[in-house]
Amino acid sequence: MARSVHVARLYPEIGQLERLNTQGHATRALWNLLHEWHLMCCEHRRPMLGWPEIDRQVKAARRDPPEGFEWLAKLPAQACGAVVKLYVAAWKRCYSGHARPPRFKSRHRARMAIDIPQAPDFRVVRLNRRWGEFTVPMVGRIRFRWTKPLPGVTRTVPGRLTGARLVHETNGWHVVFRIETPDVAPPERSASAVGIDRGVTHTLALSDGTFRDMPKLLSDSEAKRLLRLERKAARQRRSRPKNQPTSNRLNQTYDQIAKLRARAKRRRDDWIHQTTTEITREFGAVAVEDLKVQSLTRSARGTVAEPGRGVRRKAGLNRAILGMAWSQIGEHLDYKTTRTGGVLVKVPAPRTSQRCHACGLVDPASRRSQSLYVCTNCAWSGNADTNAALNIVNAAGLAVSGRGGSRVAEACEAPTTRRAA
């Protein structure tokens, strides 16, 4: 079975919104309670109880809450169990080396979320072309924006809903439906191939000579407002007394900044979805560099004994790289090529921007500028990002042009990593 999710925005009524916020804060408080319990056990060197025993005690406290814990009764039993399960899973990921240790969740900065693991209780109904409705425990029937057919509701869509998660974003509550669909053999694809070079000047440079540039995520007025709010927040932080809690006015400024940044994020995600879908539908094989973005964006600050050089310049480059979302683009290309019957090939990154795709000469002097490449051997000239994209598709063994039409570049015989379909 293939697993996927579908996100839709909720439109609760005023009373429902209050109950959702209450449940969201209750899940955060339960997480903090579990974390405090764990830290207390570590301090006194006592073993932490197992997940079934913790779940049993939390549900018992919910049925008969002690003094000061009446908020537990406002959270559904399923959501309580999901919080306990997620907390235990967070420590397992930490012990396996895949994540950092769990921390306390702040009331103002943490994102509220409520898990609903029992899908049969949803009773999802499509009201009309634009609206749907489903049941949330202890809240009632809530409308959501209908933008995609859902299995179990639309007869032509196979599969089923397995659960949901309510998440509070800066623009309101959203529901994330978990979907299971039967595995379907992908259709036959053509042998057309493309190499993609991810950059800062051009977000995506394709080996066919075209570019996919990310548009401006904020308008000029929105960018000016964001800068004004960030300066205002800096002034408010400086005027705050030391070791004092954040003022309400500073929290309001933070909320306004978060709304603008979330708007830019939604626009970036929308562009990435549309662009990667277009590329995977057009080309049967996609080749990209095997980039370690976390290493590329590491700070150049250095240490006190050995301070780094060009720290501010490197910080600006890191912001530009992270703003282009290279990792997210790679992840989207990965699963979308699998769905459409294509293949994603990752090639080693070294020398792809310094090698001439026509003659194979590696000479850093050929890279005249950020956008211009002029080979010192064969005098080929063109866009440097396009040349890198041609090197990538050659190194992947998928080239249809360049190097005399060879499918495998002689100078790029390093082993490639192919993602399993």
Domain boundaries, the chain: 1-184, 188-216+264-300+311-421
Give 56's DSSP letter.
H
Residue 117 has pLDDT above 60, yes or no: yes
What share of the chain in percent tops pLDDT 90? 41
How do residues 267-292 score in pLDDT, each as one tens digit? 999 999 999 999 998 888 899 998 88
Between 256 and 298, where is the model more confident?
A: 256
For residues 338-345, average pLDDT: 86
Predicted TM-score (pTM) of this structure: 0.81
Residue 307 has pLDDT above 90, yes or no: no
Residues shown for the chain:
421
Q: Give the pLDDT score at 405.
A: 35
Strand runs (DSSP E) across 46-124, as ranges? 113-116
Residue type at position 153: V
Q: Which two tokens stand for residue 107?
A: 């009331």
Contact 415, 346 (CB under 8 A): no
Band of the pLDDT at 398, cuts 50, 70, 90?
low
Please give the torsion angle defined by the CA atoms of residues 276, 282, 284 and 286, in that order, rounded to the nearest 10 degrees. Answer: -40
| Residue from 396, 13, 327, 401 nearest 173 by CA | 13
For residues 313-339, average pLDDT: 89
Contact 104, 97 (CB under 8 A): no
Tell me the longest C-alpha to C-alpha distance in the chain. Answer: 82
Q: Give the pLDDT score at 412.
A: 34
Band of the pLDDT at 332, cuts 50, 70, 90?
very high
Residue 302 has pLDDT above 70, yes or no: yes
- The reply to whether CATH 2.60.40 applies to domain 188-216+264-300+311-421 is no
Q: Give the pLDDT score at 300.
A: 81
Residue 220 has pLDDT above 90, yes or no: yes
What integer best gives the mean pLDDT of the chain?
A: 86
For residues 194-219, average pLDDT: 91
Q: Measured between alpha carbons, how far is 142 from 49 in angstroms, rounded to an integer?
A: 37
Buried b (16+ CB within 10 A) or exposed e, 55-70: beebeebbeeeeeeee
Residue 103 has pLDDT above 70, yes or no: yes
> Phi/psi at 267 (nearest 5 deg)?
-65, -40
Contact 353, 367 (CB under 8 A): yes
Q: Give the pLDDT score at 211.
A: 92
Q: Measured between alpha carbons, how far is 147 from 145 in angstroms, rounded to an integer?
A: 6
Residue type at position 409: A
